[in-house]
Chains A and B, each alone.
Chain A
Amino acid sequence: MTVMVTNAEVLALEAAPAQGKTRATATADVPERRPAQAADRAAQPVLALSQIALTFGGVAALRDVDLAVAPGEIRAVIGPNGAGKSSLLNVISGLYRPDRGEVWLGERAFAQVPTARLAAHGVARTFQNLAIFKGLSVFDNVLMGLAHRVRSGFLRQIIGSPLARRIDAENRAAAEDVIGFLHLGEVRERAAGTLPYGLQKRVELARALVARPTLLLLDEPFAGVTLSEKLELSEHVRNARDSYGATIVLIEHDIGVVMGLSDRIAVLDNGSKIADGTPDEVRADQAVIDAYLGVAHQDITELAV
């Protein structure tokens, strides 16, 4: 079994060269058949926000926020409570309609992202409070991540037409792959609601990854998990980028985890973006220290670790 997983990882690595690893090596790995397009993709952000503004009954949640996320990047968005982090993620996934501004997913611009078509646009997300399907088994939860690919109608599913069976077999193989990748094989038949919290988080990650999204949004993935689970989970997040080629935007409170994991960090305070750069730049940024770290002193010690 271990051998199988390793093979799958290697295969996945080879399958996703354009977005795999870091940006520096990505250019070297570009397939030679379509160099022009690959170059475009490197230049074209996977996700771009321009001048996003959002208010709730006169209270500004987001003030003219710009953000550009390059392919293959792990981008953290941090900020104190109420800074607008979750609002930002909800704007990207179309749950909120911004008052102004546009969301660019690859080459398409949206005033409001159509949530129902999110998966079809190659975007997957997780939720801050677990959003797994408690009554389904782990395997079926993962399979649900491919729901948008099932084009066969219910009558075809009942009689088991060739189309329905082919889609089913493809989806099961993809789910099997992710289950092995995230080491969920032991619990694959368990009802997801009966698992411990950390495992449920991993099931949610598996469900988001199974469709091989180009953009993966993680809403506080490390909230409420133990330290050892945090390390494990951040390893999984990194692997998700490296092996599955997903560009990752994650919202996080725990600065320690974010510093080690992210390529770039954007800092929100009171709805505005006050800093955006590499972990080292953000760490040294005076505005960040004043607005965010200066307020919560215990976070400084965490940062020093």
Chain B
Amino acid sequence: MSAAPSTAQLLPGAGAFAITVGAAVAFGAVPLLGSDYLMDAVLTPFLALALAAVGLNLLTGYAGQVSLGSAAFLAVGAYATYNLHLRLPQLPLLVDLVLAGLIAAAIGIVFGLPSLRLRGFYLAVSTLAAQFFVQWALTKFGWFSNDNPSGVIDAPVLSVAGFTFTSPAERYVFSLSVVVVATVLTQRLLRAQSGRNFIAVRDHELAAKVIGVPLLRTKLLAFGASSFLIGIAGALWAFAYLRTVEPAGFNLDRSFQILFIIIIGGLASLRGAFLGAAFIVVFPLLLSRAGAALLGGVFDSGVLEMSQRIVVGVLIIAFLIAEPRGLIALWDRLWRAVARPAAIRNT
């Protein structure tokens, strides 16, 4: 009734306009004008990691359940898609993708069961079990990698309804479409009662229980939906980005990377997941270019690599002290500073 007018209301049509321009750039200009390097080495991994971060943010940022097992669900998604494609070739790829997500969701729900008893760090440690178990199973049982001795799988060509996605631009467009659809559906879930239940369980579990929020169902839905999204991200990571996958690629480092993305980007924010993923993918690239250009003659690449990690770590710490709510809070503050004077001028 008397809600404070937001910038969207002050500038009618601005939101729709921004979405149209964004879509035109992302689906049109970038694939047409962008270099192969940009799409292959930057944008496609960014999209896959962003979707994984959306998934983890749903679980950790919204529902408050800490997980260190994200990479396990990436691996489940990747290997499930591979096996579905290999063993049930009659199924279309998109069906494979959804089924792989559902398999990841089922495993996520199983490993989410301890959340009914455990909280915080204790839960985080128990999700490590998923991390180690999945990696072990994929290495131990040759069936998963079609008896490849090193457990490495080669990705099939992505094809939907006779159209194949092989070039970097095509694989980028495929990833982008999947990520956009998944993110929109996630947004709808989070804005419905289920999304409010997640936050209620995170902010005050006892009050949520007294009100009649079904704790068991809410927590398992969070684990299931989160693992579903991360599983699909894993399939993108494997088939649109790397195109060859081994279990070791889904180790604990990867889980931490996704956790850092949502912490840096901003917990409980889908936009934050994208900002954080962009930061984690792009920033090391920029830093290594700068390092190679400035100090390439002085130090060898190994030293540069290590010092680059140190710089990234220090910057993350400094940044989180300055803005604990992540990049998205910074972004919103900047946006308000820019948009509010403009809105006042217009009225």
Instruction: List A residues at the B interface (Cβ < 8 Å).
Output: 1, 93, 95, 115-120, 124-125, 127, 131-136, 140, 143-145, 147-148, 150, 152, 154, 157-160, 164, 168, 176, 185-186, 188-189, 207
A180 and chain B: residue at smallest CB distance? B1
Check if B188 sits within 8 Å of A160, measured CB to CB.
yes
Bound CA–CA A136/B208 (angstroms): 13
Q: Is B93's CB within 8 Å of the partner chain A? A: no
> Please, how many angstroms separate the alpha-carbon atoms of A211 and B347 in the complex?
41
CB distance from A161 to the nearest CB of B (A): 11
Asked if A186 and B2 sit within 8 Å, CB to CB, the answer is yes
The docked-state distance in angstroms from the alpha carbon of A189 to that of B212 is 23
Q: 5 A-B Cβ contacts within 8 A? A: A124-B211, A135-B203, A136-B200, A148-B211, A150-B193
**Which of B4, B203, B212, B225 interacts with A133 by CB under 8 Å?**
B203
- Which of B118-126, B213-221, B289-297, B310-318 lies on the face that meets chain A? B213-221
Query: Does B345 sit within 8 A of A, measured CB to CB?
Result: no
Q: Which residues of A contact B212 (CB under 8 A)?
A: 116-120, 147-148
Taking CB atoms, residues of chain A closer than 8 Å to B188 are 157-160
Chain A nearest CB from B143 CB (Å) reads 32
| Cross-interface CB contact of A185 among B1, B199, B200, B213, cutoff 8 Å | B1
Cross-interface CB contact of B192 among A116, A145, A154, cutoff 8 Å? A154
Count of residues in B whose CB is under 8 Å from the partner chain: 30
Measured between beta carbons, the chain B residues less than 8 angstroms from A117 are 212
Contact B210 A147 (CB under 8 A): no
Q: How far is the CB of A219 from chain B (nearest CB, A)?
A: 11
Chain A residues near B208: list those with CB within 8 A: 133, 144, 147
Contact in complex: A116, B214 (CB < 8 Å): yes
Evaluate contact between B204 and A132: CB separation under 8 angstroms.
yes
**Contact status B204-A147, CB under 8 Å:** no
| Cα separation A135 to B201 with both chains bound (whole Å) | 11
Cβ-defined contact, A144 with B196, below 8 A: yes
B207 in the interface (beta carbon within 8 A): yes
Q: What residues of A have a CB within 8 angstroms of the CB of B206 in the complex?
A: 95, 127, 131
Chain B residues in 8 Å Cβ range of A93? 210
- Cβ of B223 to closest chain A Cβ, rounded Å: 13
Residues of B within 8 A of A150 (CB): 193
- Assess A133 versus B210: contact at CB under 8 Å? Given A154-B189, A154-B194, A157-B192: no
| Cross-chain contact B210 with A136 (CB below 8 angstroms) | no
Closest chain A residue, CB of each to CB of B64: A135
Q: Is the CB of B210 within 8 A of A158?
A: no
Q: Which residues from B are CB-within-8-Å of A152?
A: 193
In Å, the complex CA distance between A131 and B213 comes to 14
Scan residues 166-200 of chain B and give those whose CB is less than 8 A from a CB of chain A.
185, 188-189, 192-194, 196-197, 199-200
B3 sits at the interface (CB 8 A): yes
Partner of A147, one of B1, B213, B225: B213
Separation of A115 and B210 alpha carbons in the complex (Å) = 6
A-side contacts of B196, CB under 8 Å? 136, 140, 143-144, 147
- B197 contacts A135, CB within 8 Å? no
Task: Give A133 to B202 CA distance when docked, in angstroms.
Answer: 8
B3 and A147 within 8 A (CB): no
Complex formed: what's the CA distance from A124 to B215 in Å?
17
By a CB distance below 8 angstroms, the chain A residues around B194 are 154, 157
Asked if residues B1 and A188 are in contact (CB atoms below 8 Å), the reply is: yes
List 17 extra interface pairs beyond A115-B210, A117-B212, CB under 8 A: A1-B2, A116-B214, A127-B207, A131-B206, A133-B203, A134-B203, A135-B203, A136-B199, A140-B196, A147-B193, A148-B212, A157-B188, A158-B185, A158-B189, A159-B188, A164-B192, A186-B2
Answer whether residue B209 sits at the interface, using C-beta atoms and an 8 A cutoff.
Answer: yes
Q: Which residues of B pack against A, CB within 8 Å?
A: 1-4, 185, 188-189, 192-194, 196-197, 199-200, 202-204, 206-215, 221, 225, 268
Bound complex: CA of A160 vs CA of B197, how far in Å? 17
Tell me, rounded to whole Å, the shortest Cβ–Cβ distance linking B228 to chain A.
Answer: 11
Cβ of B256 to closest chain A Cβ, rounded Å: 24
Contacts of A157 in B (CB 8 A): 188-189, 192-194
Give complex CA distance A1, B1 in Å. 9
A190's nearest neighbour on chain B, judged by CB, is B4
Instruction: Find out whether the CB atom of A144 lies under 8 angstroms from the CB atom of B3.
Output: no
Residues in A whose Cβ lies below 8 Å from that of B189: 154, 157-158
B211 touches A144 (CB 8 A): yes
Query: Which 10 A/B pairs are nearest by Cβ-Cβ distance?
Result: A148-B212, A119-B212, A157-B192, A131-B207, A133-B203, A150-B193, A154-B194, A189-B3, A147-B213, A131-B204
Whole-angstrom distance between the Cβ of B332 and the nearest chain A Cβ: 13
Task: Provide the residues of chain A in CB contact with B4, threshold 8 Å.
Answer: 189
Chain B residue at minimum C-beta to C-beta distance from A176: B1
Knowing A136-B196, A136-B199, A154-B192 are in contact, say whether A188-B213 is a contact too (CB < 8 A).
no
Q: Which residues on A sit within 8 Å (CB–CB) of B207?
A: 127, 131-133
How many angstroms from the CA of A32 to the CA of B152 in the assembled complex?
78
A168 touching B193, Cβ below 8 Å: yes
Contact A133 B199 (CB under 8 A): yes
Q: B62: shortest Cβ distance to chain A, in Å?
A: 9
- Known A-B contacts A144-B200, A158-B188; the reply to A118 vs B210 at CB < 8 A is yes
B1 touches A145 (CB 8 A): no
Closest to A160 in B: B188
Alpha-carbon separation in the docked complex, A80 to B62 (Å): 40
- List residues of chain B with CB within 8 A of the CB of A1: 1-2
Known: A116-B212, A118-B212. A133 touches B192 (CB 8 A): no
Are B199 and A135 neighbours in the complex by a CB distance under 8 Å?
yes
On whether A135 and B204 interact (CB within 8 A), knowing A147-B211, A157-B188, A207-B211, the answer reads no
Which residues of chain B come closer than 8 Å to A189, judged between CB atoms? 3-4
Q: Report how far A168 CA is from B196 CA in the complex, Å.
A: 12
CA distance A164 to B188 in the complex (A): 12
Decide: A147 near B209, CB < 8 A? Known: A135-B268, A154-B221: no
